[in-house]
Amino acid sequence: MKILLKKYRNLLVMVVILLGVTVFNLDFGKSVARITTMQLKEMALVIPPVFILLGLLDVWISKETMSRYMGEGSGLKGILLSILIGSAAAGPLYGAFPVAAVFMKKGVAFRNILIFIGAWSTTKIPMLLFEIASLGPRFALTRLLVDIPGIILIACILTKLISKDEVKRLYERMASE
């Protein structure tokens, strides 16, 4: 019980704070409850398909294959695959993190995982199509051509800034889960 309370301490503190605020401002409490319910429904619709795809990825693609195409020695091929997979993904950014965890278990290079997360958050194909229709192809393609090198640059900088020991600990943690 003590471990459970410690694990969910932040959640419990927020619930108590929100209940306290609701006592003084009922409309605010109702608004928070409505938004929280809406977000939970969205997560319930997004998370199951992500986990199904992760299970298929885990079974269908071997660690050796992932390492060869997206591992440390993959070079430009790994970068392009990371961008393509991230751009083709659907759903909110929190769906990218379980995929990144599976990528870590499969031996994908840390730089490519960072590129994948960056691509998921900024270069989605449906978003690009919407921008082309709404803002014009010139804007959409310009943004894409600025974002892609920016994502790669940020991933390379972060890979250099984060110590190899820290990255190794992350990979070990993912392997043990």
Band (pLDDT 50/70/90 cuts) for residue 157 is: very high
**Phi-psi category of 91—alpha, beta or left, where left has phi over 0 and alpha has psi -120 to 50?**
left
DSSP 91-160: S-GGGHHHHHHHHHHTT--HHHHHHHHHHHHH--HHHHHHHHHHH-HHHHHHHHHHHHHHHHHHHHHHHH
Q: What are the tens digits of pLDDT across the range 119-139?
A: 999 998 888 889 999 999 999
Band (pLDDT 50/70/90 cuts) for residue 74 is: confident
35-52 burial, b for 16+ CB within 10 Å, e for fewer?
Answer: eeeeeeeeeeeeeeebee
Token pair, residue 90, equals 């659907």
Q: In this model, does residue 57 exceed pLDDT 80?
A: no
Q: What is the rounded CA–CA span in Å between residue 29 and residue 45?
A: 25
Give CA separation, 35 vs 22, 101, 132, in Å.
14, 28, 30
Band (pLDDT 50/70/90 cuts) for residue 94 is: confident
Q: In this model, does residue 53 exceed pLDDT 80?
A: no
Band (pLDDT 50/70/90 cuts) for residue 151 is: very high
Token pair, residue 132, equals 């082309």
Band (pLDDT 50/70/90 cuts) for residue 7 is: confident
Q: What are the tens digits of pLDDT across the range 19-41?
A: 888 898 989 888 988 998 998 88
Q: What is the rounded CA–CA span in Å between residue 171 and residue 149?
A: 26
